[in-house]
């Protein structure tokens, strides 16, 4: 002790004698704010981050490989589990890609329903973002508020698809069933409540001095670096690049909807926050337009019996199941119908040989599906370009010269979903 205190005498300090050691800490995979099982190897000099190495793979579930051993239709149920906060986008990317290989297009009403559910899903996913970020930066109430509104959206999903997550609602050739009769009213009620709630979040966070200090100027990523890393979605738009697949390569008739692509120029965590909040508002507008278009009835699945899923779902007293009339038809009335049903369910559809890349704009960025078919009943290869995975690459760059606390804000601003990253 006396020796160390004598070193405080500045005249006798030998600069070579000062011990400079960095500390390696392992943030994750079990850590409260790594969004699941992300592992960060942080090299710290005191509170400063010297280097950072993200390590992924702890949630690998073999979704891509599994798809190769299932029929084309079954793939939907697998990919929906990749990015579990944006299940509809995964289903959409997969179905659109398969439909392009088949050379078909879903009926107009199905496309409107797809847009409707995707935008609702975008809001739900963007709600989880301020919720978890708030939690991680210490604004604990924000988490409950975010999940409160997400719950309303999940109720709509549940009413329409039977499930709160992993819906398998979009199928090759359309969607599996129409909205329930009270669906539009339920969504309109949500649209009525939600703008006020978004204002509430803005009142809590937007001008909160601590929130500003934690986010502004933190995790800066310039546009050219973001592009070099392949970063997409709100992170890229927060750096000032108005790239949005919905505008640049429209699908599902997005070119006919009116919506803006919010951008900011700062490229920091706060800009990402602003962009996401604004995107929620834009999505509300799109949902409203969808509801107007849903006034006209129509089929929600292609008519071709060689492509459409043979089941006819109906809401029964115990939930969703096959309609009794259809079961009677195949079991008692028509042998051919039974054979058809059996072949479609066990063998599945066959897709012409070829390969296709179909991007969709997920809440986290460009979600791409690269499908290869060899002409058989199963995909030859399913490759998912998950935006969280690509965006995570930029974390070390954003953490240059940051503090430990910034690491949390930066990871939160990437909004990674490890289900999608590790697949």
Partner 1 sequence: MDWLDWLLLAARVVVVFFVLLLSVILLVWVERKVVADMQTRKGPMRAGPRGVLVSLADGIKLFFKEGITPALADRPVYLIAPIVSMLPAFLAFAVIPFGTGVTLFGRRVPFQIADLNVGILWVLAMSSMMVYGIVLAGWSSGSNYPLLGSIRSSAQMISYEVGMALALVSVLMYSGHLRMTQIVAAQDRVWNVVPQLPAFVIYLIAGLAETNRPPFDLPEAETELVAGYHTEYSGIKFAMFYLAEYLNTVTVAAIATTLFLGGWRGPHPEHLAWLWPILWFVVKVLAIIYAYIWIRATLPRFRYDRLMAFGWKVLIPFGLVWVLATGAVIVLPDVYGRRPVVIGAAAVLAVVLLLSLLWSALARRRETVEAPS
**48 phi and psi, to 5 degrees?**
-90, 140
Tell me how far, at minimum, the Cβ of 406 lies from partner 1, in Å: 7
For partner 1, the closer CB: 210 or 325: 210
For partner 1, the closer CB: 143 or 337: 143
Site size toward partner 1, by CB under 8 A: 45
Give the N- to C-terminal CA distance of the chain in Å, as an integer.
53
Residues 6+ apart with CB under 8 A from 181: none
For partner 1, the closer CB: 66 or 206: 206
C-beta separation of 387 from 365 below 8 A: yes
Distance CA 109, CA 360 (A): 19
C-beta separation of 362 from 233 below 8 A: yes
Contact stretch for partner 1 (CB under 8 A) within 51-59, 71-79, 141-149, 157-165:
141-149
Q: DSSP code of 34? A: S
Which token pair is 44?
Answer: 């710290």
For partner 1, the closer CB: 271 or 417: 271
Q: Is residue 278 near partner 1 by the rule CB under 8 A?
A: yes
Query: Which residue among 191, 212, 313, 320 contacts partner 1 (CB under 8 A)?
Result: 212
Contact stretch for partner 1 (CB under 8 A) within 299-307, 326-334, 386-394, 399-407:
399-407
Residues 6+ apart with CB under 8 A from 168: 76, 77, 80, 91, 161, 176
Say how many residues make up the chain: 423
Distance CA 28, CA 8 (A): 37
Q: Is residue 211 near partner 1 by the rule CB under 8 A?
A: yes
For residue 318, how many other CB atoms are within 10 A of its CB?
A: 6
Which H helix or E strand runs over 314? strand 313-316
H helices present in 68-107, as ranges: 75-79, 87-102
Contact stretch for partner 1 (CB under 8 A) within 21-29, 183-191, 283-291, 306-314:
21-29
For partner 1, the closer CB: 204 or 320: 204
Distance CA 324, CA 376 (A): 32
Q: Is residue 275 near partner 1 by the rule CB under 8 A?
A: yes
Tell me how far, at minimum, the Cβ of 261 lies from partner 1, in Å: 9
Tell me how far, at minimum, the Cβ of 388 lies from partner 1, in Å: 19
Query: Which residue among 286, 302, 399, 408 contacts partner 1 (CB under 8 A)?
Result: 408
Q: Is residue 210 near partner 1 by the rule CB under 8 A?
A: yes
Residue window 307-336: x/- pattern of binding to partner 1, with contact defined by CB under 8 A: ------------------------------
For partner 1, the closer CB: 56 or 135: 135
For partner 1, the closer CB: 137 or 349: 137
Question: Using CB under 8 A, which residues numbered 40 to 79 contact partner 1?
Answer: 44, 46-47
Tell me how far, at minimum, the Cβ of 213 lies from partner 1, in Å: 5
For partner 1, the closer CB: 137 or 360: 137
Query: Which residue among 264, 301, 344, 349 contacts partner 1 (CB under 8 A)?
Result: 264
C-beta separation of 40 from 382 below 8 A: no
Residue window 114-133: x/- pattern of binding to partner 1, with contact defined by CB under 8 A: --------------------
Q: Is residue 23 near partner 1 by the rule CB under 8 A?
A: yes
Contact stretch for partner 1 (CB under 8 A) within 144-152, 188-196, 250-258, 355-363:
144-152
Q: Is residue 137 near partner 1 by the rule CB under 8 A?
A: yes
Distance CA 152, CA 304 (A): 35
CA 192 distance to own-chain centroid: 24
Query: Which residue among 32, 181, 196, 317 contacts partner 1 (CB under 8 A)?
Result: 32
Query: Which residue among 7, 13, 57, 148 contacts partner 1 (CB under 8 A)?
Result: 148
Distance CA 239, CA 223 (A): 5
Tell me how far, at minimum, the Cβ of 3 lies from partner 1, in Å: 18
Cβ burial of 401 (10 Å; 0-12, 13-18, 19+) is: exposed
Supply the DSSP string of 214-255, one letter for each residue: HHTTSS---HHHHHHHT--THHHHTTT----HHHHS--TTGG
Residues 6+ apart with CB under 8 A from 385: 359, 366, 367, 368, 369, 370
Distance CA 120, CA 284 (A): 8
For partner 1, the closer CB: 51 or 350: 51
> For binding to partner 1 (CB under 8 A), which residues are involved?
23-25, 31-33, 44, 46-47, 134-141, 143-145, 148, 204, 206-214, 260, 262-264, 271, 274-275, 278, 403-408
């Amino acid at each position: 002790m006396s020796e160390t205190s004598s070193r405080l005498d500045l005249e006798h300090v030998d600069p070579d004698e000062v011990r400079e050691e960095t500390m390696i800490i392992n943030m994750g995979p079990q850590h409260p704010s790594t969004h699941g099982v992300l592992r960060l190897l942080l090299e710290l000099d005191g509170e400063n981050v010297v280097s950072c190495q993200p390590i992924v793979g702890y949630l690998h579930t073999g979704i891509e490989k599994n798809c190769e051993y299932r029929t084309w239709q079954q793939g939907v149920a697998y990919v929906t589990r990749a990015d579990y906060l944006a299940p509809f986008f995964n289903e959409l990317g997969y179905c659109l890609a398969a439909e392009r290989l088949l050379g078909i297009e879903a009926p107009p009403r199905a496309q409107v329903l797809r847009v409707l559910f995707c935008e609702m899903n975008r809001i739900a996913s963007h709600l989880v973002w301020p919720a978890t970020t708030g939690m991680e930066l210490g604004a604990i109430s924000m988490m409950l508020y975010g999940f409160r509104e997400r719950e309303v959206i999940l109720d709509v999903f549940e009413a329409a698809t039977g499930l709160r997550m992993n819906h398998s609602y979009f199928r090759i050739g359309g969607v599996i069933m129409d909205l329930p009769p009270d669906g539009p009213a339920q969504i309109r009620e949500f649209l009525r409540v939600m703008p006020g709630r978004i204002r509430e979040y803005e009142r809590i966070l937007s001008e909160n001095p601590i929130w500003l200090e934690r986010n502004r100027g933190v995790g800066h990523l310039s546009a050219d670096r973001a592009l070099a890393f392949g970063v997409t979605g709100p992170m890229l738009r927060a750096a000032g690049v108005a790239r949005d697949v919905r505008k640049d390569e429209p699908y599902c008739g997005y070119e006919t909807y009116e919506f803006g692509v919010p951008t900011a120029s700062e490229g920091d965590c706060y800009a990402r926050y602003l962009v996401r909040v604004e995107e929620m508002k834009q999505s509300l507008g799109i949902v409203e337009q969808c509801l107007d278009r849903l006034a006209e009835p129509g089929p929600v699945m292609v008519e071709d019996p060689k492509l459409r899923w043979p089941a006819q779902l109906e809401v029964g007293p115990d939930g969703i199941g096959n309609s009794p009339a259809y079961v009677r038809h195949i079991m008692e009335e028509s042998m051919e119908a039974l054979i058809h049903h059996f072949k479609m369910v066990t063998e599945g559809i066959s897709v012409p040989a070829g390969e296709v890349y179909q991007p969709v704009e997920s809440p986290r960025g460009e979600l791409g599906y690269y499908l290869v078919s060899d002409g058989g009943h199963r995909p030859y290869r399913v490759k998912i370009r998950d935006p969280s995975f690509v965006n995570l690459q930029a974390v070390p760059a954003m953490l240059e010269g940051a503090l430990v606390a910034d690491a949390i804000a930066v990871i939160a601003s990437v909004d990674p979903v490890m289900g999608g990253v590790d697949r």
